[in-house]
Structure 1
Amino acid sequence: MKRSKFISNLSCLGALSVVTPGGLLYSQTAFSETYSFMKNSIQLIRNATLVIHYAGKKILVDPLLAEKGAYNPFAGGERNPTVELPLSVEDIIENTDLVLVSHTHSDHFDSVAREVLPRDVKIVNQPADEDYFQKLDFSNTHTLQEHLLWNDINIHRTGGKHGSGEIGKRMGTVSGFVLQAKDQPTIYIIGDSIWTEEVAQAIEEFKPDIIVANTGGARFPGYEENPILMDEEQTISLLKASGNARVIAVHMEALDHCTTTRASLQQIANSVNGEVEKLIIPKDGEEIFL
């Protein structure tokens, strides 16, 4: 549902109650006064590309903006991306205040993003990619070592492992991000990582309300036993360790080497008692209000 349409629908509720996605019941007055549902949202664009409305700012995460089939296959399958964008590039980047780049693999910061993003937009990147961004003609990049306070939003960088064994070494360094602000839910964007101690430690340290996990179970030929993203089994481990957080599963059905699908993940989650209620699997273009 479009953001404007949703808000319009709320205005027609009158004295009725509102039930949030977390199952909480509010009167319309209490809802408007105390709940950030209309202010904060996470929209899956495609793959790991997100638009996050948070604390009054629009944050774009890991922009893969090319049209369907623009890039060569990763695993000998279809050309990537395997699906079209659900919105125009103009709509996706319009009024963006901040861009978070977890790492610079082409499915997280592609050539189209390099071309179309405003030259003065704030870009936050990991230390491993500092040289990469210094060579581009953006004027407002920031290499995040550990923590940044930006417009009253605390941004923390977290670690992860983009696979294990030899393929993990080849995939290089990746990062995640935690967003915190006063009276706002804490959001943990894991990034391209398998289920690992660093992810578990971040959950323990920051106690997020929302976790965004890249769960495509991506694999390369010759390394099929070592996924470079969480697969179904690892996502269940994440769910079990996530406490009361809701887990939003993304990075599926957009690249040829991602083997976990929305259906396969949902099927496995349905078989695990007490965990499926915490899992959200959005479609491309779907906006989840927090």
Structure 2
Amino acid sequence: MHIQLVRHATLRVGYNGHILLVDPMLSQAGEMPATVNTPNQRPNPGVELPMSVEEVLDGVNAILITHTHMDHLDEAAVRQLPKHVPLFCQPPDREKLKNHGFEQVIVVEDDYEWEGIHFDRTGGRHGTGEIGEKMGPVSGFVLKARDGNEPTLYLTGDTIWCEEVEHALKSHQPDVVVPFAGAAQFLVGDPITMTKEDIVQLAQAAGNSQIFVAHMEVWNHCLLSRSELVEYVRANDLSDRIQIPQNGEKIEYQR
């Protein structure tokens, strides 16, 4: 298995002979407005793609959408994604994705198997209190190879550290976890994605899992920097297990 961080939550995952594209956001830098009521009002995304759109899409034969906020599926992606490939999603997003023209929208209610890959959908909390409610439903996904030749992969989706994440770790015992970090925050309320403290707590709860951190330094309300996270991880003696990749970086994982 390999995971390539394209940018933000957009990942290319090589798994069981397939290339899965996760949460594609393909806009050019500054093409979209800033998320309102946030401390940083620069346009989104804050950086360019590290490769061409053609390279992002090369060889992709499945798409996985954790949820449809525009930093996980933007208009540029809707225009340019192949419409004929299987697209896996959470139940609330079915009609929206069909209306975008995707021809094979596959809803993962609880679990689903495709081409030797078993998908389990997990829960999460996209923030706390009223803000968390307004952010709507989000999901994580666990991927397991039917023949056991690939590491078990857990993509948390947009969530803070919570009981649902802890339950997923205990239930699935993933070899690799991809938390969506960045400590995204509005002018009021708590963070709506994982903070540096959440990442360390996740790593401590995840046993010997390797951690591949995504969702950083791209969207205007993601306030946690890579450098700050690196220092915090080092202070907690977890540098050997927590990888904080740069945009475009690819990491290989073995079973």
- Relative to the length of structure 2, the TM-score reads 0.95
- Aligned with 1:187 (options 138, 146, 153): 153
Matching residue's letter, 1:48:
A
User: What's 1:218 paired with?
Assistant: 184
- Percent identity over the alignment? 39
2:80 is the alignment partner of 1:119: no
What's the secondary structure of 1:185's corresponding residue? Answer: coil
1:1-290, aligned counterparts within 5 Å? 40-74=1-35, 75=38, 76-181=40-145, 182=147, 183-223=149-189, 226-273=190-237, 275-290=238-253
Residue 215 of structure 1 deviates from its aligned partner by 1.1
Q: 2:83 & 2:204 partners in 1: Cα distance?
A: 42
Deviation by residue 1:153-198 (Cα, 9 ceiling, x = unmatched)? 1011111000011110110000011110022100000010000010
Residue 136 of structure 1 deviates from its aligned partner by 2.1
Give unpaired runs (5+ residues) of structure 2: none
Q: 1:209 & 1:93 partners in 2: Cα distance?
A: 26
What's the secondary structure of 1:124's corresponding residue? Answer: strand
What's the secondary structure of 1:253's corresponding residue? Answer: coil
User: What's 1:15 paired with?
Assistant: none
Residue 277 of structure 1 deviates from its aligned partner by 1.6
Deviation by residue 1:221-265 (Cα, 9 ceiling, x = unmatched)? 122xx0000111111111110101000111100011001111111
Deviation by residue 1:108-151 (Cα, 9 ceiling, x = unmatched)? 01101111111201101101112212322111111110111100
Q: 1:73 & 1:148 partners in 2: Cα distance?
A: 36
Matching residue's letter, 1:210:
V
Q: 1:102 & 1:162 partners in 2: Cα distance?
A: 12
Q: 1:89 & 1:108 partners in 2: Cα distance?
A: 15
Matching residue's letter, 2:30:
G
Matching residue's letter, 1:276:
S
Matching residue's letter, 2:188:
G
- Relative to the length of structure 1, the TM-score reads 0.84
Q: 2:64 & 2:83 partners in 1: Cα distance?
A: 15
> What value does the CA root-mean-square deviation take over the aligned residues?
0.9
Q: 1:131 & 1:117 partners in 2: Cα distance?
A: 17
